[in-house]
Amino acid sequence: MVLNNKLRYLQIAFNYNLNQVYEILPLVPDDPSIMIEAGTPFIKREGLNGVRTISSMTRGHVVADIKTADGAIEEVAMFKEAGATAMTVLGNAPKETLNFFIESCKKNKIISMIDMIGVDEVLPILRNLKVPPDVVVLHKGRDEEQTKGKVIPYKQVNKIRSKFNCLISAAGGVDVKEARSAVFNGANIVVANIVKPDDPWVGISSQEDVTKVAKEFLESIK
């Protein structure tokens, strides 16, 4: 399964538990432009079984946001078996880990994503790789959302595109307005978190009409 660099994708992330997945995922439109993410907190709670469940409930791409920091070969194999079609590795992981991760993803026909959370300059990391990843994730972290003035680093997009043929994903505090901005700034993928009404983070509220809001996101990124 590959991504079409002429399309724009909405990646909907689940960060809580399987109960929320059972409740919300059936409301997400069955659209080839929608990817479903098993977020890092979700994986820590639900493990491989959580990824298997998500995979069984959707026909589209399943992103395992494992943020590999070491042991790339084993982690790719584990989550491939669980049904993931895309996975993440930390951009500030050792170069050996990054190279093993990308190589293992290619062998397993998995979409490789390097998450640049906490990385100020992306190009030095990409230049140090044997081959580039499929996707570079420009990520404003959940904790960073609480800092006024923090933004997704779109200034990195042109730098990346000038040197590498990678898709760009934008994550962190994405609502419909930010999704539109992300695409305007060159993103191929926008990541929206399912959030609870009392969460301090921006995303798609679990109390909203999820079907309607997902369609609004899709319209905003066309």
For position 97, what pLDDT does the model report? 98
Q: Does residue 76 lie within any of the structural domains?
A: yes
Give me the average pLDDT of each 10-residue run along the chain (222 residues).
90 98 98 97 98 97 98 98 98 98 98 97 97 97 87 95 96 96 97 96 96 97 93
| 133 backbone φψ class: left, alpha, beta (φ>0; ψ -120 to 50) | beta
Q: Does residue 82 lie within any of the structural domains?
A: yes
Q: Does residue 2 lie within any of the structural domains?
A: no
| Domain CATH number, residue 202 | 3.20.20.70
Q: Does residue 172 lie within any of the structural domains?
A: yes
Residues of the domain holding 51: 9-221
For position 14, what pLDDT does the model report? 98
Cβ–Cβ under 8 Å, residues 38 and 63: yes
Measured distance CA(29)–CA(158) in Å, rounded:
32
What is the model's pTM? 0.96
Q: Does residue 57 lie within any of the structural domains?
A: yes
For position 94, what pLDDT does the model report? 98
Q: Does residue 1 lie within any of the structural domains?
A: no
| 62 backbone φψ class: left, alpha, beta (φ>0; ψ -120 to 50) | beta
Q: Does residue 144 lie within any of the structural domains?
A: yes
Tally the domains of the chain. Answer: 1
For position 1, what pLDDT does the model report? 65
Q: Does residue 106 lie within any of the structural domains?
A: yes
For position 2, what pLDDT does the model report? 84
